[in-house]
């Protein structure tokens, strides 16, 4: 009898264990990787057609680039005659017997490159000196005096060699400091070909002048 009870107890315990093992596992105890969702790759972004804001930005950039190009080319064109005059100035030496005329010719040709020929070509002596002074950006008493020295040497039969460096320096300073006009309409136009050839000035210098 006791053995039968023991056997029944063992069978009952085994049945309970099997039933417990067959019970569903709670969701929180399942594999966590199984809870992850599939990775979805985002759709490709198409940049074309461009938004209107990009078109505006591109237009502004191109306009700024064009304006910069125009400003640079205008600056180069405006200073072309001035740079050519400075280069020509270096070829003048005190050994030349007519160095005052050569220096003065550079000034006259430069002025005629920026101002109407008829306004400049006929100027000489005090009138020419006054014109050179009026073209300066600011008052410079020493430069004005040195320009006067050059003008006086132009009309001397034998120029003073000791005045050469002063006169040459005056020409260089005037070329660097002169406020040469940019408005073509107001002054008859800048000579886009560079430094004026000086033919009108040469014609004027053949006529007798007095300082």
Q: Domain residues of the chain, as ranges?
A: 79-203
Angle at 155 between CA 166 and CA 139, to 5 degrees: 45
* Beta pairing partners, 136: 178
List, in order, residues 6 or more apart from 164 with CB less than 8 Å away: 94, 99
* Cβ contact 197:105 at 8 Å: no
* Element at 81 (helix H, strand E): helix 80-89
Do you know the residue count of the chain?
211
Q: What is the pLDDT along the chain (211 residues), one digit of tens a residue?
A: 555 565 566 556 655 555 545 555 555 556 666 666 667 666 776 677 778 889 999 999 999 999 999 999 888 988 899 999 999 999 999 999 899 999 999 999 999 999 998 889 899 999 999 999 999 988 889 999 999 999 999 998 888 899 999 999 999 999 999 998 876 434 444 455 578 776 655 554 444 444 3
pLDDT at 171: 97
pLDDT at 6: 55
List, in order, residues 6 or more apart from 25 with CB less than 8 Å away: none
pLDDT at 194: 73
* Beta pairing partners, 178: 136
pLDDT at 74: 87
Q: What is d(CA 105, CA 96) in angstroms, rounded to the nearest whole number?
A: 14
């Amino acid at each position: 009898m006791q053995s039968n009870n023991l056997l029944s107890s063992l069978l009952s315990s085994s049945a309970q264990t099997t039933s417990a093992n067959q019970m569903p596992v709670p969701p929180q105890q399942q594999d966590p990787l199984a809870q992850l969702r599939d990775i979805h790759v985002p759709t490709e972004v198409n940049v074309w057609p461009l938004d209107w804001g990009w078109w505006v930005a591109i237009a502004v950039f191109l306009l700024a680039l064009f304006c910069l190009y125009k400003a640079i080319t205008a600056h180069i064109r405006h200073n072309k005659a001035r740079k050519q005059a400075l280069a020509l100035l270096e070829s003048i030496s005190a050994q030349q017997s007519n160095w005052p005329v050569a220096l003065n010719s550079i000034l006259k040709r430069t002025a005629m490159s920026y101002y109407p020929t008829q306004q400049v070509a006929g100027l000489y002596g005090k009138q020419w000196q006054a014109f050179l002074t009026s073209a300066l950006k600011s008052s410079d008493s020493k430069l004005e005096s040195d320009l006067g020295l050059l003008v006086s040497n132009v009309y001397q039969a034998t120029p003073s060699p000791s005045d050469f460096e002063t006169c040459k320096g005056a020409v260089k300073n005037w070329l660097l400091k002169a406020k040469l006009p940019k408005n073509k309409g107001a002054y008859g136009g800048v000579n886009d070909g560079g430094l004026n050839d000086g033919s009108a000035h040469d014609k004027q210098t053949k006529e007798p002048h007095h300082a």
